[in-house]
Amino acid sequence: MTGALADQAARDRIATALDETLFVEAGAGSGKTKSLVDRIVALVDAGTEMRHIAAITFTEKAAAELRDRIRLSFEAGAADAALDDGARARCRTAVEQVDAAAISTLHAFAQRILSENPLEAALPPAVDVLDEVASEIEFTDRWDRFRDALLDDPDLRRTLLLAFAAGITLADLRHLAAEFGANWDLVCDADRVPWGREEPPPVDLTDLLGRGEALLARRSECADGADKLCMHLTDLIEPHLRALRDAPDEYEALRLLIAEQPKYACSYGKRENWADKASVAGELADLGSVRHGIAKAVAEACLHRLAVEVAGFTRAAAVQRRSGGRLEFHDLLVLARDLLRGPHGVAVRRRLSARYRRLLLDEFQDTDPIQIDLAVLIASDDPGAASKAWPDVAVPAGRLFLVGDPKQSIYRFRRADIDLFLRARDRFGPAVALTTNFRATAPVIDWVNHVFGRLISHRPGAQPDYQPLDAAPARRTPVGPPVAVLGRRAHPDVKLLADELREREATDVAEAVLAARCWEVTARDPDGASGRRAATLGDITILLPARTSLAALERALDLRGIPYRAETSSLVYSTMQVRDLMAAARALADPSDQLALVTALRSPIFGCGDDDLFTYRVDHGGAWSFTSPTPEGVERDHPVAAALTYLRALHAQLPWLAPSELLDRMIRDRKLFELGYAEGRPRDLWRRLRFVLDQARAWSESEGGTLREYLEWARMQASESARVAETILPETDDDSVRIMTIHGAKGLEFPITIVSGMTTTSRGAKGRVQVAFPPQGPVGIKVSAVVTPEFEAFKPIDEQMGYHERLRLLYVACTRAQDHLVVSLHRKARTLPPKEHNRTNAELLALACEGLELHEIADDDAAAPPAAAGRTDAAPLPDWAAWEAERTAALTASARRRSVGASDVELTAPAAALDDDTAAGADKDARDLELPPWQKGRYGTAIGRAVHAVLQTVDLATGEGLAEAAAAQAAAEGVIGRESEIRRLAGAALQAPSVRQALTCARWRETYVATPVGGRILEGYIDLLYRSPAGLVVVDYKTASTAADLDRRMDAYRAQGGAYAVAVEGAAGEPVARVVFVFLTAGGAVERDLPDLPAAKEAVRAAMATAV
């Protein structure tokens, strides 16, 4: 790359102004990760150790990438001969510390804070962090118990019955509880749910009925009984008032008041037929207002009352999770903040501030507002910080580094707050701007700047100013239009249905895919050089804002034989094959669900045609039920009869099958994997089915419940609200078009990006239950037609915020493109221009494109789909003998162990030759990485395990805490009463010569090592590893009842010691000088070096290459 960068000064400042608090606004594709790495490297070079730096980012994937890039930078520095000895030493130290450094997501960092201060956080000794599946299961269990208690509460009987009459369901209350649970820290604020437990007002119809009678009496003023206003009063209003008068109870009365019909308004009728038609129509409207007012007052009171109960359930659930040590992700953040602001906050903040001297926050625009609270409290030296709001807390210069892009803030539904970003920028700014985009070509950047410079403009607290991007110098444009549009002109048919519009858009998108295969993309070599090459289908990614248009898109791609894959989990659950599988499962879960049954029968799973369904139902009188007997005269091989017989047999096994097992059974029995060849995209189908099976297994393993409960969970995965999920990793050799949601594509880039799904008018959330948390004051709630005043007041603000975020979502989509950007402008003509926030995405983009010369992909641009892009037909069957030989070889290879522990029996003396002490000492490897820290690598006797655990935690230099640790481990291992023995053996280890020497060297305890040897992984745990002047030294503790016969025991441990040496050398890249076994006996510690270490290592390598 040649030429100076427009923002080079900003990049230099990031890497050099280490004692300044910087707030970096990094545009899309501006290389902010590299800038983050550069600052960390500069901090380490200036003397800050890696263990004193915390780098927080948004996703686990981003954290892993950041850690890898930091490691590579320090490894390069450690090997750079141009650096002085001190700089290289600092790099080596950083390499050693980077794996344990606080480079993680915000939730993981909060978990680290809590785990380091469990007593101060009032957490139990064992804490589990639940994933989303487990959290949903536990929420369901708690909700079921709460719902039963709610229904049994006599004080709530009237409130519930009135709520049901108003259209509020138990499912709505469950949804409300889920929304409250996701924001439980706000719900715990008394000002958010300030209502009491008063009874709702009575449904008093006196005024309404009196006014109604007076209004009906005015029909005598009408000269024509056929007048439409008069008929409206007679045919609709009078019966409704009569029904209200005759209602048996207030619940039925409220139901009638809430009902949409009849309308208490009528613009019909002729003025000449009435003495004063206007006043009659006015009285009718007033009567409707009275009706509405009565219903509204009662329904709102019911909703407020039930919201209080649900809030209580939410608070109790949070307390229960905390006391039980079963925390959700959001709990980690709230509890960490409470810890820093709580009674132990000063001491905890002091420790954290000393440990994490520099905090770097990445993707700041998308994280929970609690993040800034945590960062400021840790960075500040102010003892009184806990009593202050974060903007008022003093932070020493250079302690904080924040980076983000407000134009990419798209997670408002996950509590990301653009207003907080803008306020933090004002507090810690002015912003340092990174504007050079290394991702896209200059024409793409010019288009993005033109369009979004018009769409994104400053709105206080809601939208930032648009910061234009700069093109990187010498970025070449490959062959093909840099920017193209689909549907440049609006469709003239104003009555065009939404589905028809989506079909037209999908058709153009599919044609654009074919056209794009004639383009070129940038080819980047591993060494950084770039050239050009022909585009492939794998270079093309279609981005959708929602799943609405997925079905039409799939049909269009299928019609043209274009292979594709959906790479976001929520899209997978919306695909036809998975929907068919779920329909079959629903039919099994509920035999009365005829719709699910017929859907499953008509799917490829059972392959019943409409003619089969007709003959079974009409000709033979069959029932849509697999529990009913097969009608007489129906042949056993009739497709419908055979399918129902299969379902009947499978249904009988439901009590013994987990949902994952049931799905696996259906997939294998009905040959769904093989069906991929018939559909022409086997890999895509396999990927989807494997993904669904894996998630079903995870659900079942997380204390899963019934099939119906699983199906309800799966239904939520396909809902519009399930917007954040890890993308599914594709096979690297699968050349097919990728389909992703825009949210799923955040942080990624694609050579050819097609932005589709632009036809729908976005009106924000449309669910029955909506919850809004204004900056201050009570929560706003909407359940179906029941809307609280707080929600009505905040709704306009919420809609405007949603509109601004929609613009940012479009910006994110369009800035994923590297070489070519294709944007759909498909829209229909409007008779009247809509309000700004009611425009479709296509309308917004089309307006912003005015004045630009747009390239529209025409039919003649599209190339015919080549054979490689068509159906994937099965290869000819191989020769049987050759296939059998290949299969046998594959089975033999798969049966070979992929990993071998350092103490596996193949590498030790025969088990019969080992006494109990020796066998227990040899039984120590890495077979369970999920054990608690004090149990990792501990598989010997109970006393041996306890001693090893003590040596893992005690101070090796002073022995401080030895007695307490011995007592704790004796209790943990069930050997209470033998504390003194454990303490004596561990104390002997502290006096061993090798341990004393380790105190003067760089050392590591309980180190997991793994390295490839002989085509498999050799792994194990090292009790103590240190770097002596002669090289690395491996120390392994062995408890022994006597010091006699150590020669025989050393022979038994020879292979184990050699394996440790091989593993350490392979993992660390440094030679092992000694392997020392420290035998801990009642008489003290006895050390034995492993003799002839090179021969022992060679024996291990030979055994690894030949062992089964």
Q: For the chain, what percent of residues have pLDDT higher than 70?
A: 91
Return the closest-CA partner of residue 923 out of 1018, 1020, 1045: 1020
Beta carbons of 453 and 445 less than 8 angstroms apart:
no
- pLDDT at residue 765 tops 70: no
Residue 447 reports pLDDT greater than 70: yes
Q: Are 833 and 844 a contacting pair, CB within 8 Å? A: no
238-288 pLDDT, tens per residue? 999 999 999 999 999 999 999 878 888 888 889 999 889 999 999 999 999
pLDDT for position 719 = 60
Single out the residue in 324, 351, 368 at which a domain terminates.
Answer: 324
* pLDDT at 727 > cutoff 70: no
Across the chain, what does the average pLDDT equal?
Answer: 86
Which pLDDT band holds residue 746 (cuts at 50, 70, 90)? confident
Residue 730 pLDDT grade (very low, low, confident, very high; cuts 50, 70, 90): low
Looking at the fold, whether 184 and 274 belong to one and the same domain comes out as yes
- Same domain for 239 and 157? yes
Position 726 in a domain: no
**Residue range 22-48: mean pLDDT, rounded:** 92
Query: Which residues touch 643 (CB under 8 Å, ≥6 apart)?
Result: 600, 601, 606, 608
For residue 873, tell me if it sits in a domain: no
* Average pLDDT of span 561-573: 77
Q: 622 lies in which domain range?
A: 575-717
**Distance, CA of 234 to CA of 219 (rounded, Å):** 9
Report if residue 725 sits inside a domain: no
pTM of the model: 0.75
Residue 696 falls inside a structural domain: yes
What's 535's domain CATH number?
A: 3.40.50.300
Within 10 A of 460 (CB to CB), how many other CB atoms are there? 7
CATH number at residue 1062: 3.90.320
Q: Does 137 map to a domain?
A: yes
pLDDT of residue 52: 94
Q: What tokens appear for 525 in the block?
A: 């070599």
Note the pLDDT of residue 726: 43
Residues 1029 and 945 in one domain: yes
Instruction: State the total domains in the chain.
Output: 5
pLDDT digits (tens, 9 = 90+) for 134-193: 788 888 889 999 999 999 999 999 999 999 999 999 999 999 999 999 999 999 998 999
Distance CA 466, CA 814 (A): 15
pLDDT of residue 907: 45
**What are the tens digits of pLDDT across the range 418-442?**
888 899 999 998 889 999 999 999 9
Does residue 845 lie in a domain region? yes
Two structure tokens written together for 586: 């629903």
Q: Single out the residue in 868, 890, 918 at which a domain terminates.
A: 868
pLDDT of residue 414: 78
- Beta strand pairing status for 128-129 and 326-327? parallel
pLDDT tier at 865, thresholds 50, 70, 90 = low
Q: Comparing 257-271, 629-643, 760-774, which segment has the lowest mean pLDDT?
A: 760-774
For residues 471 and 435, what is the distance between their CA atoms, to the nearest angstrom? 8
Buried b (16+ CB within 10 A) or exposed e, 163-180: bebbbbeeebbbbbbbbb
CA dihedral for 26, 29, 33, 38, sign (positive or negative) = negative
- Which of 821, 846, 868 is the endpoint of a domain? 868
135 and 118 in one domain?
no
Peptide bond into 443 cis (omega under 30): no
List b or e across 851-870, with b for residues whose CB sees 16 or more CB atoms inside 10 angstroms. eeebeebeeebbeebeeebe
Report the pLDDT value the prediction gives residue 568, as an integer from 0 to 100.
66
Are the C-beta atoms of residues 940 and 1023 closer than 8 Å to each other?
A: no
* 141 and 102 within one domain: no
The more confident residue out of 483 and 573 is 483
pLDDT at residue 135 in the model:
85
pLDDT digits (tens, 9 = 90+) for 866-916: 444 444 455 677 788 888 888 888 877 777 777 787 766 344 434 334 444
The pLDDT tens digits of the residues spanning 943-1002 come to 888 898 889 888 888 888 888 888 888 888 888 888 899 999 999 999 999 999 999 999
821/927 same-domain check: no
Residue 621's CATH number: 1.10.486.10
DSSP SS3 for 46? coil
**Confidence band of 2 (pLDDT split at 50, 70, 90):** low
Same domain assignment for residues 484 and 633: no
Residue 1072, C-beta contacts closer than 8 angstroms, at least 6 positions apart: 1031, 1032, 1033, 1034, 1060, 1061, 1064, 1065, 1093
630: left (phi over 0), alpha (psi -120 to 50) or beta: beta
Same domain, 847 and 830: yes
Residues 291, 378, single domain; the answer is no
pLDDT of residue 547: 78
* pLDDT the model gives residue 801: 87
Do 306 and 347 belong to one domain? Answer: no
Better-predicted residue by pLDDT, 890 or 513: 513
Residue 354 has pLDDT above 60, yes or no: yes
pLDDT (average), residues 340-344: 93
Share of the chain above pLDDT 90, in %: 51
Q: Per the domain annotation, does 515 fall within a domain? A: yes
Residue 754: predicted pLDDT: 95
The verdict on 378 and 404 lying in the same domain is yes
Same domain, 86 and 146: no
pLDDT band per the 50, 70, 90 thresholds, residue 551: confident
Q: Convert the pLDDT of each residue in 190-199 to its tens digit.
A: 899 999 999 9
Residue 391 pLDDT > 70: yes
Q: Report the relative pairing of strands 737-741 and 780-783 from DSSP bridges.
A: unpaired
Considering the domain boundaries, does residue 378 fall inside one? Answer: yes
